[in-house]
Amino acid sequence: MTSPFKTAEFVGGPLDGTTYERRSGKFPRRLPVQVNRYVELYVAGIGRHGNVVYRHKGRLAVEAVK
């Protein structure tokens, strides 16, 4: 997803209110993020002000303990 903004905000879930800094030309559409021992899925969308926001869609997996 392209945007003139350099950061996106996480909405909902364990990362609510934190930001994600763009690392290349585009923001990834789906962003799986590891938080503690869980993998949480965030999906990009457009916020009220035209900025990119990542909305929490749920937990994908639990990290295996070895």
Greater pLDDT, 4 or 44: 44
Residue at 16: amino acid letter: D
Greater pLDDT, 50 or 64: 50
Instruction: Give the length of the chain.
Output: 66
- Chain segment 18-50, per-residue pLDDT in tens: 999 988 888 999 999 999 889 999 999 999 888
- Torsion angle (degrees, nearest 10) of CA 43, 9, 7, 34: -60
Six-digit token string for 6: 């350099």
Greater pLDDT, 61 or 55: 55
CB 25 within 8 A of CB 37: no
* Residues in a beta bridge with 59: 40
| Residue 66: pLDDT band with limits 50, 70, 90 | low
Q: What pLDDT is attached to residue 37?
A: 86
